[in-house]
Amino acid sequence: MKRHIAILTALLLSACGGPALPVREFLQDKQNDTKFNELSTKFKKEHGCDKLEKLYKFTRLEKPTVKDLSEIMPIFGLKADDAKNVNKVYNLDLSVMNKYNCDDVGNKDQLIKELVQYCDTKYHDTPDKQSDCEYYLKQSIFVIDEHHALTWSILDKRQAIQNVKDTLETGIVDNVHKIYPLPEDTDKLLSDFSTSELLNARKEVLGTYDGNCYGNLCENEVTDDKTVTRLNAARILYSFCKSFSGYFGDQSECACYAHQTYKKVNYKNLIYIDEQSKLPTSKKAEFDQIFKKCKQKLEKQRYGEVSGY
């Protein structure tokens, strides 16, 4: 009943503009109401249309939860419990959606013939009402969920459903970020860090700064949070790699460098690097060697060999 009421609401909204047969009058007719429910019950969702429906419903959630996420994980070939694994969540293969279609769904054609015949028989002497009848009954087949409808005209066109998939992809990513928000300005580190490493690094407190916070040293300079975390270490070491003489690395080299060094420093090391703009003597030889190895690794991946330097 709840789904039926929601469908009627969608019909009421879509029928604005003065049709020959108002939707209320159409559905107050017992025969029409029975046919509407009959078609909805008969409709077989195949070829992945039900999966697109489920994804669509997920993207419409204002405050998605891990439980909501677990319900769509099997669509991507994963287990529901994988919704708790942030690395798997951030690496969902969204291209899986391309194999699902709604443009030739199950017994759609058979049901359309049935409803056309029904409307022709019932309203054969009133063409306008016959047309409205067909439109209303098609909604019984192509409503996506009880709150949001993708109309027949969308689902019946290949290009339109591709546009829907593109919208789904954006919506899925947005809602994943709501459930597992990444710390700001950490995308540049993802080539070497896993998502869970970044989130865990933010939880590990190294110290509390006793000066004026700015740049990468403190967790939140805007709110005057002077907490220094392991994530701040990764940010500082990445920035140092990018900016200071002897390195001037590119993004991939410095993400590698930060990943290999961020657990090798303590709070005092960090404030020294931040305040002095150079490495502590106790770390310089080791960290220089780490940068060299990162550079060599990436050159070998790209060229099959390393430059002589």
Q: What is the mean pLDDT of residues 255-279?
A: 96
Residue 69 scores a pLDDT above 80: yes
- How far CA 117 is from CA of 17, 30, 110, 130, 142, in Å, comes to 25, 17, 11, 10, 18
Give the per-residue pLDDT at 144. 41
Q: What is the mean pLDDT of residues 88-115?
A: 81
Band of residue 46 on the pLDDT scale cut at 50, 70, 90: low
Band of residue 161 on the pLDDT scale cut at 50, 70, 90: low
Give the per-residue pLDDT at 16. 47
Is 102 or 23 the better-scoring residue by pLDDT?
23
Band of residue 103 on the pLDDT scale cut at 50, 70, 90: low
Q: What is the mean pLDDT of residues 181-210?
A: 91
Residue 306 scores a pLDDT above 70: yes
Band of residue 215 on the pLDDT scale cut at 50, 70, 90: confident
Is 205 or 8 the better-scoring residue by pLDDT?
205
Chain centroid to CA 23: how far?
36
Q: Note whether 114 and 105 are within 8 A (CB).
A: no
Q: What is the pLDDT of residues 227-246, one digit of tens each?
A: 999 999 999 999 999 998 78
Is 128 or 20 the better-scoring residue by pLDDT?
128
Q: What percent of the chain has pLDDT over 70?
A: 80
Is 118 or 20 the better-scoring residue by pLDDT?
118
The mean pLDDT value of the chain amounts to: 82
Residue 53 scores a pLDDT above 90: no
Give the per-residue pLDDT at 19. 59
Q: Give the whole-angstrom CA distance, residue 81 versus residue 230.
A: 28
Q: Give the whole-angstrom CA distance, residue 70 versus residue 65.
A: 9
Q: What is the pLDDT of residues 162-184, one digit of tens each?
A: 566 778 888 999 999 999 998 88
Q: Give the whole-angstrom CA distance, residue 272 versus residue 213.
A: 14
Range 178-181, long-range pairs (CB < 8 A, 24+ positions): 178/63, 178/64, 179/64, 179/65, 179/66, 179/69, 179/89, 180/86, 180/89, 180/90
Give the per-residue pLDDT at 234. 96
Residue 146 scores a pLDDT above 70: no
Give the per-residue pLDDT at 79. 96
Q: What percent of the chain has pLDDT over 90?
A: 50
Residue 143 scores a pLDDT above 60: no
Select the highest-mean-pLDDT range: 99-113, 136-150, 180-194, 285-299. 285-299
Give the per-residue pLDDT at 159. 47
Q: Which residue has the tokens 């798997």?
A: 88
Q: Note whether 233 and 265 are within 8 A (CB).
A: yes
Q: Give the whole-angstrom CA distance, residue 277 versus residue 275.
A: 6
